[in-house]
Structure 1
Amino acid sequence: MLAGLGVLGAAVATRSASAAFPAAVQSSPGSIDSPLPPAPTDTRLADRGGYILGSGSTFTLSNARILVGDGSELQGGLRVENGQIVEIGPGVKSGDDLGGATIFPGFFDGGSPIGLFEIDLEAATHDESEGTDGLLPGIHTEDSYNPASALIPVARRQGVLGGLCLPSGGLVSGQAAWMRFAGDSVAAATMKSSSGVVFNFGRGGTGALPNQPHTRMGLALKLREVLEANKAPDPPDPKAKKKKGEPDKPPEFTRTQKVWHAIRARETKVILSASRADDILAAIAFAKEFNLDAVLLGCAEGHLVARDIAESGYAVLVAPTTTQPGDWESLNAVYENPALLHAAGVKLIMREGAAHNLRELPTEVCVAVANGLPYAAAIAASCGHNAASIWDLPVGTLATGRPATFAIADGDPIQPRTRMLRAWIDGREVTLRSRQTTLFERFRTLW
């Protein structure tokens, strides 16, 4: 049995932990006004990638509420062998009794610059925006990603086990990548590279960089010119006869040209960032004009054009639920935005968006549910299920044959008072310690 289960602990305090689960577990320190007692800190060593040393990849958990990830629920347990789920459901009764704790796939954020910068006011730590040209489709975010970022353990502690890492700036910012929040190298942390080229509509796409327009009409013209000039070449016909003066070898293309060709051929997705209602419609029209494989990003005013978004068939990496009407791009932002988009039939991927606040993703989801988004839809949108259906990711659903990526919480994972107890990524347990918890433990006793 897992020790330190907070409110669950009183009911199961007499049960002993097995060797697979040390008594010192990773749950949040009790706050001064909290009815929950302070829990012991996990002292087990972890490697620099966040994986706990010596943790086994074969174990069984039982007596739990299981959020499958697609919105459905089970009561029972799961059995993991060699990092994969081999059995799940009410038939799993042996192993470690969780006393009613919740197993869920973890949260996966739909877009932030985490791993690309550390300190807002220190330029030397910023790698999220190249800033030398307005058109940079060949940039890969993983080339700047820092798997040792101090922000990653903070997000992971709240059950956020991965996310879409986004570049920013310019008209075309570069290519996003889905990252797992563990691993001591970029290769180990990357779930899916080249996950989409980010296009910025509205004021976000205008500016003073080379190849960057100053107005929305200039933005539309520039994008059309670039895509019209970079249509994917036809594959060579082996039966065609060589024409006089034709070169012996096919033309050589630059990396940037190859990316444009892949976009035109629908081999690479585009992620169209737009917040204002008219910019959202412009992004949709642009994607349809060039038959692009598109996903929308932001859509703070999406509820105003929800039917148009639904008819487009494009999913939305939706703006944080708590987006405020604080600028000209989001004057009509409302907390009901995710609920209204869902009601119209739009597939959503929830996001917090800010690297330093990624730990607050569960709260964003909770606010969306409080403002009308069905609970099942919120879980599918935030726990990786919807994202996996678009990008073919190995996360988001707890099922037989799937990698064992999940977290255990002492209650409903989207509630702010719930504490994360344990987490696994690809069958390996990860630490929930962070720089802040280390500081807390150091000064828990001052004398």
Structure 2
Amino acid sequence: MIAITNAKLLTVTKGTIENGVILIEEGKIKAIGEDIEIPGDATIIDGQNKWVTPGLIDAHTHLGVFEETIGWAGADGNEMTNPSTPHVRALDAINPLEQGFVDAYMGGITTVQIMPGSANVIGGEMSIVKTYGRVVEEMLVKELSGIKVAFGENPKRVYGEKKQMPSTRMGTAAVLRENLTKAKNYMKKMEEGNDKKSPEVDLQMESLIKVIKREIPLRAHAHRADDIMTAIRIAEEFEIDLTLEHCTEGHIIADIIAEKGYRAAVGPTLSNRSKIELGDRGWHTLVELDKAGVPVSIITDHPVVPIEYISVSAAIAVREGLDEETALKAITINPARHMGVEDKVGSLEVGKDADVVIWSGNPFDFRTKVEVTIINGKVVYQREM
């Protein structure tokens, strides 16, 4: 058992406890509050003058599938042989021993969603993992959390250069519609057929059936406002669930996104304007989406922005007009809800996974350091004093 004492606890969902205690047992938060009896056998971590938050969460990364520094050998996030590859799994390409995972938990990030890249219209399956472990099986929070789809410049550039469809935004939308329609037809045949008449199992269609049945969402890479609207249009046509990823021009249509009830994972705003569709990239997107009532998550798109800078991104967003409470939610409970794992992570609550970060001061001060990171009740990082 671990007891964190005398600390300022930012619970996220239940306010701030100025001088609180957290009890951790068997990987879960057992108790939290001011007047908590501490068992005699507990390992005590004194949190005097420290701030404590839930483990931070990044809902949109390529951690371990686009490894840093090694180029081609570690680039496993885009299967650029077909514009539709719903059946490939990021899970099969994650290298848990990549340095990015160490950077993550040293930066207080304890949970991440890892997905394929955006070269293909339908990029494949994604997973949610903790940032500490030897193999992905030890790290899994959710094996299948969505299917990546992409709009805008990336797929039309990749396949336009190959002189094949899609080479336009029209073609991108058509490829997605075509494959969702195939999945609906395949599902119908599988349900109606018997052992002799049922079609052979098609792994691509099996993946998309989960979307058609609304078991998992499409997670749509879309920067420009018109691309965001295309993603929404197709989701409504097929009556499927959708989250908006990047949402760079979301501020232009913030009222529409809010009215339709979509969540937005915004970023990587700390990056440069590397292509035309990022021309209006800025912190104002988060501010305007929040004002409109859109639940926002701040993302790094690691390795585009190194994952340890998600707290820096949140701090800059505060400087540029986002209030601290919303900024904290944008790297904790909002991404947990965005990914559908808010019952496990994203806040300091009894019964949730004991993913806890102890900070030297206010997390929104650039000078603040992570002093301790706890994942599933285990201290995985402790800064040398």
TM-score w.r.t. length of structure 1: 0.78
Q: Which residue of 1 aligns with 2:254?
A: 306
> Which one-letter code corresponds to 2:135 in the other structure?
S
Q: SS of the residue aligned with 2:166?
A: coil
Structure 2: segments with no counterpart, 5+ residues = 39-43
1:92 is aligned to: 36
Deviation at 1:273, TM superposition (A): 0.7
Give the counterpart of 2:226 among 278, 301, 315: 278
Describe the SS at the equivalent of 2:312: helix
Partner of 1:407: 357
CA gap 1:270/1:335 in 2 versus in 1, 3 angstroms: same
Alpha-carbon distance, 1:230 to partner: 1.8
In structure 2, how many angstroms separate the alpha carbons of the residues matched to 1:234 and 1:123? Answer: 41
Shift in alpha-carbon separation, 1:141–1:390, aligned structure 2, 3 A = closer
From 109, 121, 136, the equivalent of 2:58 is 109
Q: Indicate which of 354, 372, 377 corresponds to 1:427.
A: 377
* SS of equivalent residue, structure 2 residue 372: strand
Q: Deviations over 1:239-297 (max 9, x none)?
A: xxx9xxx7646333211111122211212210011001111111111111111111110
What is the correspondence of 1:107-186 to structure 2 with a 5 Å cutoff? Answer: 107-120=56-69, 122-168=71-117, 169-186=119-136
CA–CA distance in 1 between the matches of 2:211 and 2:94?
Answer: 23
C-alpha distance in structure 2 between counterparts of 1:98 and 1:383, whole Å: 21
- How far off is 1:221 after superposition? 1.6
Matched, 1:262 2:205: no
1:190 corresponds to 2:134: no
Q: Secondary structure at the match of 2:31?
A: strand
- State how 1:3-22 maps to structure 2 within 5 Å: none
CA shift digits 1:368-410 (9 cap, x unpaired): 1111212111111102454246412521111112221111011
Distance apart, 1:363 and its partner CA? 0.6
**Percent identity, aligned pairs only?**
28
Aligned match of 1:72:
15
Corresponding letter in the other structure for 2:179: V
Q: Secondary structure at the match of 1:117?
A: coil
Between 340-349 and 84-93, report the one with greater CA deviation: 84-93
In the alignment, the residues of structure 2 paired with residue 103 and residue 109 of structure 1 have an alpha-carbon distance, to the nearest angstrom, of 18
What secondary structure is seen at the aligned counterpart in 2 of 1:147? coil
Q: Structure 1 residues 392-401 or 403-412, which shifts more?
A: 392-401
Secondary structure of 2:111's counterpart equals: strand
The one-letter code sitting in structure 2 at the alignment partner of 1:156 is Y
Instruction: Give distance in 2, aligned partners of 1:316 and 1:102.
Output: 28
Quick check: 1:397 aligned with 2:350? no
Distance 1:331 1:384, change over 3 A: same
2-side partners of 1:73 and 1:115: how far apart? 34
- Aligned partners of 2:333, 2:75: CA distance in 1, in Å? 27
Q: Specify the alignment match of 1:370 in structure 2.
A: 319
User: In structure 2, what is the equivalent of residue 227 of structure 1?
Assistant: 180
- Label 1:82 to 1:119 Cα distance change in 2 as closer, same or farther (>3 A): closer
Structure (1/2) with the larger helix percentage: 2
Asked whether the equivalents of residues 170 and 212 of structure 1 are also in contact (C-alpha less than 8 Å), the reply is no
CA distances 1:138-194 after superposition (whole Å, capped 9, x unpaired): 111110001111121112111111211121121111111111101111101121121
The answer as to whether partners of 1:362 and 1:415 remain within 8 angstroms in 2 is no
For the residues of structure 2 that align with 1:411 and 1:110, how far apart are their CA atoms? 25
Q: 2:268 aligns with which of 309, 320, 334?
A: 320
- Report the alpha carbon displacement of residue 229 of structure 1 after superposing the two structures with TM: 2.1
Does residue 1:251 correspond to 2:199, yes or no? yes
The 3 A distance-change label for structure 1 pair 432 and 204 is: farther
Q: Over aligned residues, Cα RMSD in angstroms?
A: 2.3
- Give yes or no for contact 2:287–2:321 (8 Å, CA) kept in 1: yes
The answer to whether the 8 A contact 2:145-2:339 is kept is no
The question of whether the paired residues in 2 share the 8 Å contact of 1:142 and 1:190 is answered with no
Deviation per residue, 1:329-358 (Å, 9 max, x gap):
022222211111011111112111122611
Tell whether 2:329 aligns with 1:329: no
Residues 4-24 of structure 1: per-residue CA shift (max 9 Å, x gap): xxxxxxxxxxxxxxxxxxxxx
Contact map agreement 2:32 2:349 (CA 8 A) in 1: yes
The 3 A distance-change label for structure 1 pair 392 and 119 is: closer
After TM superposition, give the deviation of residue 83 of structure 1 in Å: 2.2
3-state SS of 1:132 partner: coil
**Higher relative strand content:** 2
Q: Does 1:62 align with 2:5?
A: yes
Aligned to 2:287: 339
- 2:59/2:338 contact within 8 Å kept: no
Asked if structure 2 preserves the Cα contact closer than 8 Å seen for 1:62 and 1:92, the reply is no
Question: 8 Å contact 2:84–2:175 — kept in the other structure?
Answer: no
Residue deviations 1:21-75 (CA, integer Å, cap 9, x gap): xxxxxxxxxxxxxxxxxxxxxxxxxxxxxxxxxxxxx021211111113372112
Q: Quote the Cα distance in structure 2 between the aligned partners of 1:298 and 1:226.
A: 23
1: CA distance between counterparts of 2:75 and 2:267? 22
Amino acid at match of 2:212: R
Q: Which amino acid aligns with 1:140?
A: R
- How far the C-alpha of 1:97 sits from its partner, in A, is 3.2
2:85–2:122 CA contact under 8 A, matched in 1: yes
Q: Deviations over 1:94-118 (max 9, x none)?
A: 5543112111112111211111132
Instruction: Find the aligned partners of 2:5 and 2:82 in 1 and give their Cα distance.
Output: 54
